[in-house]
């Protein structure tokens, strides 16, 4: 088992702030125990239902890995824009512009020129909140 530190809360509906630059600060955070094969650098707790169509519920922990280690197309990714972050699904990623969506019908896609954004991580795993998922089945 290994420790994966929880860096904060994640949203797909709006950009949020967090500091993931200093590993020393992450080590002061709470942590999750995960299997040693996970490549996650840190975890975020999903706080809205924008990825519910993928089975990700509010309260689930998203394990975030380096984007260079995992494919990103059609996967939830952590996006950085001018020091703020958002979790969205990378539906189209190319050198000229990128499109990011959610599974919520009312959300508009984010279309950004690639020089204004950076994919800083990809969701490499999910730790489901068992209470929420058990309640959903009933």
Q: What is the mean pLDDT of residues 91-117?
A: 86
pLDDT of residue 27: 58
pLDDT of residue 111: 87
Q: Do the bridges between strand 76-81 and strand 118-127 make them parallel or antiparallel, or are there none, so unpaired? A: antiparallel
In our burial notation (b when 16+ CB lie closer than 10 A, e otherwise), range 115-129 reads eebebebbbbbbbeb
Q: What pTM value is reported for the model?
A: 0.86
CATH superfamily membership of 2-137:
Umud Fragment, subunit A (2.10.109.10)
Q: Which of 27-31, 39-43, 48-52, 84-88 bottoms out in mean pLDDT, i.e. has the lowest?
A: 27-31
- The pLDDT > 90 percentage for the chain reads 48
**Domain limits, the chain:** 2-137
More confident residue, 24 or 15: 15
Is the pLDDT confidence value at 137 over 50?
no
Q: What is the mean pLDDT of residues 98-124?
A: 88
pLDDT of residue 38: 87
pLDDT of residue 138: 40
Distances (CA, A) of 55 to 62, 68, 98: 12, 24, 24
Shortest CA distance to 51 belongs to which of 70, 77, 19? 77
């Amino acid at each position: 088992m290994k420790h994966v530190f929880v860096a904060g809360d994640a949203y797909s509906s709006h950009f949020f702030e967090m500091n993931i630059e200093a590993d020393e600060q992450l080590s002061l955070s709470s942590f999750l125990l995960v299997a040693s094969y996970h490549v996650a650098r840190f975890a975020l707790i999903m706080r809205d239902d924008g990825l519910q169509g993928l089975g990700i519920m509010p309260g689930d922990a998203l394990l975030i890995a380096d984007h260079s280690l995992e494919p990103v197309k059609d996967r939830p990714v952590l996006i950085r824009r001018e020091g703020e972050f958002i979790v969205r699904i990378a539906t189209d990623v190319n050198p000229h512009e990128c499109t990011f969506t959610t599974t919520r019908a009312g959300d508009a896609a984010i279309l950004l020129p690639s020089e204004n954004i950076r994919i800083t991580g990809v969701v490499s795993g999910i730790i489901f909140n068992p209470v929420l998922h058990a309640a959903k089945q009933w």
